[in-house]
Each structure stands twice: as C-alpha cells, then as structure tokens.
Amino acid sequence: MADLKLTGVSKNFGSQAAVRDLNIDIASGEFVVLLGPSGAGKTTTLRLVAGLEKPDAGAVWIDGRDVTTMAPALRDVTFVFQQYSLYPHLNVYDNLAFPLRSPLRKISEDAVRAKVLEVARMLRMEDKLQNPATRLSGGQMQRVAIGRALVRNPSVYLMDEPLSSLDARLRNDLRLELKRIQQDTGATMLYVTHDQVEALTLANRIGVLDHGRLVQLGTPQQVYQDPDTVAVASRLGSPRINLLARSDVPQLPAPDGVQTIGVRAEHLKIGPANSATPDSVSAVVQRLERLSDQYLVHLRLKDRAPEIIVSCSPAHVAHAGQEVQIQFTQCLWFDASDQRVRA
C-alpha cells in the first residue's frame, strides 16, 4: 500500500474549471471519501490520480513518486466505476483472473487460482465462478467488478460510486464488506459517493468538494459538527441542516456579521406555546413525519416563510396546526459569503 498526494492540481475542460488548486495528502491505508454535488469535480479527481486525465497544473504523487506524467498502467492503481465493466464473453472466474494474467505480471496459474478463489470467497461469489458474466444480476456484476480491483492488490484503489447501482440490502452488505476488506488489507482508498451513510461509515476522512475546490477535509465527526461553510454543513446530515436568515430570528444571540443561522434538527426543542423565553421562537406545526423511533416535525416560523424541521421523541410530538415555542440549543453561524463565523 502507498500514500497518495495531490499538490496544486488543477484541470480545466475548455473554459470549465473542473478541479481547482487541489491539495490533499492521503496516508497509506487511509480511506478518504469525496463528497460534493454533481459537477463538483469528484470523478475528475479520481481520473487525474488514475492518469486518465492530465492536470493543467500541479502534481500527483503515489508512494513518494511523482507519477504526473506516468502512463495509467504504470501507476499501480485500480479504478472501479459506477457502471460495472466486465468482459461479457468471459465467465466470472476469467473476469476475476484477467488483471492477474497481464503479461506485465508473470503470475503462475496456480497463484492466479488461489487469488481468484480468495476474492470470490470475500465477495460470496464462489458458486458463480463458472457463470458467464452476462448471466448475473446487476448486483453480482458489480461485485465481480469490485473483485477485479481486489485481486490486483494495487497501491491505491479509486472507486467512483461503486455501490450506487445496487439495491438497498446489497448495498448495505457490500458497504460493510468493503470496509472490512479495506481494514484487513490496509488498502489506501479514494472513494466517491453521493450517499452520506456510505461516507460516514466508510471514511477515515471526508473531503467535501464544491465547484472544483476542496472546501473541507476532516473526520466525519469534524465535517458534521464543525463545518467551515454552508455547503459543507448542508452536505452531511439527514434531515438536512435548517438554514435561516439572521433577520428571521433576531431574538437569537449571534455575533455581528452573521447572515445565516444553521441549526440541525436534533438541536431544536419543541415546547408548548406558553413556554416562551426571550430567545425562543414561535412556530406553527405544518406536518409530521414518522421515522422508526422518532418524529420529524415540520414547522413554519410565524408569519415567515422558511420551513424548519425538528426531530423529537413521540412523548414531545405536537400536532399539525399547533402553535409551539422552539428553543435553539446549538447553532452554526455563517457570514454573507457563507463562511463559518466562530464565536
């Protein structure tokens, strides 16, 4: 395994800046997940590491070597795409064996067989080894695609939403498997997803990209609890963080220059209409959403537009149309350019 470093990497497509001055240092054995909206530059970042794109500026380093001008095949990375890419004329066994039979590798057939069987066991595909690749379910095909990356034991794994085409159950299973395999093998992993559960459970660190820039890199806990921008605060958390204009809640204490107040659903408390305090806010319940062990209460601040969501236990739930008082137990402050204001 190896460490991976990008220094000052930029990539433009015509006038479109896909990646801007990206600096990231990933330790050997680390699992880094890139999150960001569509078009943020996540796939381009993976392609730059793989050598499928050439940066306009900056350098890519793998295991201490500058690989910026090196051909993809010589970089010792594997790339798992969102859409499985199997050889349709080969069976599962030969698909898994294919990367090992490259003339560059010179591996004996016995060693190939041992590795293929080991990976097939990991992926619970031993009974499918003789199936033609075309006679598999979508989930099985994607497992073979992941398996083809695993047999190679590369320095760095690059994965671009590898689980997104799977159904929920398989996705959960394979997410746990991937984490286990990564821990067992000590693989260095750069992984792209839109799924925040995946990001939170897999990552040692999460990098949030926005318009081609890395806006924050930190542990899942840091990124969730201590976001640097509105974009980062909005990326993690379900339900999404509530964002209110400062002018909507003038009664809340906040430093000068704060324009937006962010508050997560679990940091709001509902009380009865007669529980007003100087810094509570009145609201009217719009509707309720029942989750397994709690409710999400959708509220509208009196006479004002934004709807906010509070999570609460069944014991404290209010009904639609009811007037309530809201206490803000923890807030995040942002300035006019959506940057965090810390006290």
Stretch that binds ligand ATP, among 31-39, 65-73, 143-151, 295-303 (CB under 6 A): 31-39
Backbone angles phi, psi at 146, to 5 degrees: -65, -40
213 binding ligand ATP? (CB under 6 A): no
- How far apart CA 115 and CA 108 sit, in angstroms, is 11
- # chain residues binding ligand ATP, by CB under 6 A: 11
CB of 213 to ligand ATP, least distance (A): 12
40 binding ligand ATP? (CB under 6 A): yes
Three-class SS string for 205-243?
EEEEEECCEEEEEECHHHHHHCCCEHHHHHHCCCCCCEE
Sign of CA dihedral 42, 43, 46, 47: negative
User: Which structure tokens are listed for 170?
Assistant: 């398989």
Applying CB under 6 A, which of residues 2, 4, 26, 44 lies at the interface with ligand ATP?
44
CB of 41 to ligand ATP, least distance (A): 4
- How far apart CA 106 and CA 43 sit, in angstroms, is 32
Stretch that binds ligand ATP, among 11-19, 84-92, 285-293, 304-312 (CB under 6 A): 11-19
Measured from the CB atom, is 12 or 282 closer to ligand ATP? 12
Measured from the CB atom, is 44 or 196 closer to ligand ATP? 44
Measured from the CB atom, is 147 or 162 closer to ligand ATP? 162
- How far apart CA 263 and CA 244 sit, in angstroms, is 8
Measured from the CB atom, is 34 or 261 closer to ligand ATP? 34
13 binding ligand ATP? (CB under 6 A): yes
CA 28, chain centre distance (Å):
19
Measured from the CB atom, is 94 or 210 closer to ligand ATP? 210
CB of 9 to ligand ATP, least distance (A): 12
Tokens 């309530």: give the residue. Answer: 324
Helix (H, G, I), strand (E, B) or coil at 86: coil
38 binding ligand ATP? (CB under 6 A): yes
Applying CB under 6 A, which of residues 1, 9, 41, 163 lies at the interface with ligand ATP?
41
Task: Please list the helix, strand and coil fractions of the chain in percent, rounded to the nearest 5, in that order.
Answer: 30, 30, 40
18 binding ligand ATP? (CB under 6 A): yes
- The secondary structure element, H or E, covering residue 326 is strand 323-328
Q: Which residues bind ligand ATP (CB under 6 A)?
A: 13, 16, 18, 36, 38-44
